[in-house]
Amino acid sequence: MQKSRTKLRRPVWHKRFRDKINPAVAQFTDSTRDDESLIQYEIRCSIAHTGMLKKQGIINNQEFNKIKNGLNKILNDYKKGKFKLSPELEDVHMNVEFQLKKEIGETAERLHTARSRNDLIATELRLYCRDAIKEILEGIVDLQKAILEQAERYKYAIIPGYTHLQQAQPILASFYSSSFFYKFQRDFEQLIELRKKINVSPLGSCAFAGTGIGIDREFLARQLGFEKPCGNALDGVSDRDFLIDFLYYLTRIMLHISTLAEDLIIFSTNEFGFVELDDSITTGSSIMPHKRNPDVCELLRAKCARAIGRFVSGLTILKGLPSSYNRDLQEIKPILFNQVKETYDCQKMAEILVKNCKFKTPDDDWVKRPNFMCTVDLIDFFVKKGRRFREIYGIIGECIRDSKGNIERFIQIVSKKTKTEDDLIEKILTPAFSVKNK
């Protein structure tokens, strides 16, 4: 790798040390690659903090206006692509402070009064998660809409239902589809609750022990839309429980998407054959022209594995950390940002997948023909007639065994053992009756 010839700027803390930092160490500890996502939150926190300093009489109105205008200019420059984070300045916090000093001069040196990078990053991550949850919630709603539209399209289509990947009982395709609506609804509701728990402000905790300067943490919290300030500064700068919770719920969304993808892979095979994936979401083989590969589904499964890995990485980083802020926490940022982006992308892909798959029955008459999948309905029939469940369950089990897989023979044996008409047994054993019966 080519070494940069740019002269390294000395960090703000350089006067504490006699020797310059090793360039390799500076590069190793740099977090600017991950901090691009936090620039807008850095500016928001800084403007709120500046307003609080003015309110408390720590800076005057002129200084407040200079700092606020300078910060807004940096934000506008960032949106226009004119402001980029420099690795030489360690992180987003020092980059913004350095740029502010270039814009407004020495007045910028008042900005960091009564705050630390420790409480800043803890606050900014909460702001980021708060906004990211909103985006993920919108993705869930879009996916749920697609699921409900599919359920409406196939409201009356009957398909085999499975347990242990064995045909179990006939169900409606709409019943199957809507089951995923409820999976994602649980994710939606948990994220709503998590957003409330995230809405606590660590700003004003400073490094970890608070500050002797007369600040107003309640004002700061209100300015940033938080419900309240955190209860303990030491906990406030180090708490990443909310982040781990968010990673978990994102992983759970990916698990649900993976289950959907796995089902569609299986159901679209020739062996199962009651789901057809549109050409627009499948790929072909380089040597087998007859193939239609469910690559989208397969990649969704794999991306779920990556999500699980990131979640475990986040937990492992926090494992065994001593109290207060530790630099290890820097490594959670890319995990979070990547998890959010990939989950949202996979939500969109799952939405496309649902919109472009079709259900089809094994054949036109299968719902009218007797099927071993409906033996539970036969048991239910006899139970409603007064037979003991375990008794009739045993009788039907014996009849299945003795029929050796022949449905006509099964009907005859049941008829003989239960003294029930063949035609009635045959009707009860049809998928159409089974679904209507429920």
**Rounded Cα gap, residues 262 and 273, in angstroms:** 14
Q: Give, as one character, the DSSP assignment of residue 275.
A: E
Structure confidence at residue 327 (pLDDT): 86
Same domain, 34 and 82: yes
Average pLDDT, the chain: 92
Domain end, chosen from 60, 89, 113, is at: 113
428 in Cβ contact with 363 (< 8 Å): no
Residues 155 and 193 in one domain: yes
Same domain, 353 and 250: yes
pLDDT of 23 above 50: yes
Beta bridge partners, 159, equal 171
- Cα–Cα distance between 261 and 299 in angstroms, integer? 9
On whether the CB atoms of residues 48 and 203 are closer than 8 A, the answer is: yes
State whether 290 and 380 are in the same domain: no
Of 93, 120, 99, 91, give the one whose Cα is nearest residue 31.
Answer: 91
Mean pLDDT, residues 399-423 taken together: 95
Asked whether the predicted pLDDT for residue 260 surpasses 90, the reply is yes
pLDDT class of 362 with cuts at 50, 70, 90: low
Residue 238 and residue 384 in one domain: no
Q: What percent of the chain has pLDDT over 90?
A: 82
DSSP 113: T
- Under the banding of pLDDT at 50, 70 and 90, the label for residue 132 is very high
The answer to whether residue 3 sits within a structural domain is no
pLDDT class of 8 with cuts at 50, 70, 90:
very low
Token pair, residue 249, equals 């719920």
Q: Which residue has the higher pLDDT, 398 or 16?
A: 398
89: pLDDT confidence band, cut at 50, 70 and 90?
A: confident
Do 103 and 133 fall into the same domain?
no
Q: 176 in a domain, yes or no? A: yes
Domain end call among 67, 84, 113: 113
- Which domain, by its residues, includes 404? 366-437
Q: What is the pLDDT of residue 6?
A: 41
Nearest to 381 by CA among 313, 437, 309: 437
Q: Is the pLDDT at 4 greater than 80, yes or no? A: no
Q: 97 and 44 share a domain?
A: yes
Strand, coil or helix: 200: strand
pLDDT surpassing 60 at residue 10: no
Instruction: Kindly state whether residues 317 and 420 are assigned to the same domain.
Output: no
Residue 375 contacts residue 396 (beta carbons within 8 Å) = yes
User: What is the total residue count of the chain?
Assistant: 438
Write the CB contacts of 16 (distance below 8 Å, at least 6 apart in sequence).
Answer: none
- Residue 227: inside a domain: no
The residue among 371 and 25 whose pLDDT is bigger is: 371
Per-residue pLDDT at 3 exceeds 70: no
Cα separation of 136 and 371, whole Å? 43
Q: What is the DSSP letter of 185?
A: H
Residue 221 lies in a domain: no
Residues 409, 327 within the same domain: no
271 and 297, same domain (yes or no): yes
* Reported confidence tier of residue 7, pLDDT bands at 50, 70, 90: very low
Please give the radius of gyration of the chain, using alpha carbons only, rounded to the nearest integer: 31
Directed axis angle between helix 173-198 and helix 117-153, to 10°? Answer: 160
Query: Is the Cα torsion angle 130, 132, 138, 142 positive or negative in sign?
Result: negative
Say if residue 246 is in the same domain as residue 352.
Answer: yes
Residue 226 lies inside a defined structural domain of this protein: no
Q: What is the mean pLDDT of residues 64-92?
A: 92
> Following DSSP, what letter does each residue of 397-421 receive, concatenated?
HHHHHHHTT-HHHHHHHHHHHHT--
Q: Could you list the active site residues?
A: 164, 285
CATH number assigned to the domain comprising residue 65: 1.10.275.10
Report d(CA 103, CA 43) in Å as an integer: 14
Pick the closest to residue 161 from 392, 349, 356, 377 (CA basis): 377
What is the percent of the chain with per-residue pLDDT over 70, rounded to a whole number?
Answer: 93
Q: Tell me what pLDDT residue 110 has.
A: 95
According to the model, what pLDDT value does residue 12 have?
54
Considering the domain boundaries, does residue 4 fall inside one? no
Mean pLDDT value across residues 284-312: 92
d(C-alpha 81, C-alpha 240), whole Å: 31
Read off the pLDDT of residues 155-211 as tens digits, 9 standing for 90 and up: 999 999 999 999 999 999 999 999 999 999 999 999 999 999 999 999 999 999 999
Range scoring the smallest mean pLDDT among 9-23, 128-142, 318-332: 9-23
- One domain, residues 74 and 163: no
* SS3 of residue 8 by DSSP: coil
Tally of domains in the chain: 3
CATH code for the domain of 240? 1.20.200.10
Domain boundary among 359, 376, 394: 359
Q: Give me the phi and psi of 160, to 5 degrees please.
A: -70, 140
Task: Identify the residue with better confidence: 398 or 11.
Answer: 398
210: in domain: no
Domain-embedded: residue 211 = no
